[in-house]
Amino acid sequence: MTDQSAAAGAADTGTTGIPAGAANATTLQVNDLKVGTGATAEAGDTITVDYVGALTDGTVFDASQNHGQSFTFTLGAGQVIAGWDQGLVGMKEGGQRILVIPASLGYGAQAVGSIPANSTLIFQVQLDKVQKGGAQ
């Protein structure tokens, strides 16, 4: 997950590595690249992830490695975009997943930083740790 191709990985991808049909996504799409073997993430759990986020043209707009650390948040608590709160439930520690998030579950009609309004977002996420019930 260190370059633009890291936002890819689904079996059915175009030449840019973005999942086919992603640009026109109207619903959340979840594709497990690797199913983990650890604890299962549920709403209310505190989870730690590494991720790469890209637009449908392959432009990477964010990655946890750019911040020098993994990202930790409480799943289902509204601390992240709805596409993450919904798309990471059921994922197991050690797993890797592609999320194709329509604008309605991302930032909607609001532009945020380098992300244009009404953008479909593509994330490759690796679940590093699950702390059950939000226990720290």
User: In which domain, by residue range, is 63 found?
Assistant: 4-130
Q: Answer whether residue 74 is part of any domain.
A: yes
In the predicted model, what is the mean pLDDT of residues 60-86? 96
Predicted confidence at residue 135, as pLDDT, reads 55
For residue 93, pLDDT over 50 is answered with yes
For residue 5, pLDDT over 60 is answered with no
Contact 28, 99 (CB under 8 A): yes
Q: Answer whether residue 116 is part of any domain.
A: yes
For residue 58, pLDDT over 60 is answered with yes
22-39: pLDDT as tens digits: 777 889 999 999 999 999
Q: Answer whether residue 11 is part of any domain.
A: yes
Cα 96 to Cα 79: distance, rounded to the nearest angstrom: 21
Q: Is 133 exposed, middle or buried (0-12, 13-18, 19+ CB in 10 A)?
A: exposed
CATH of the domain at 115: 3.10.50.40
- pTM for the model stands at 0.84
Q: Please identify which residue in the block is written with the tokens 């549920």.
A: 42
Number of structural domains in the chain: 1
Cα 46 to Cα 105: distance, rounded to the nearest angstrom: 20
Q: Please identify which residue in the block is written with the tokens 């993994």.
A: 70
Q: Answer whether residue 47 is part of any domain.
A: yes
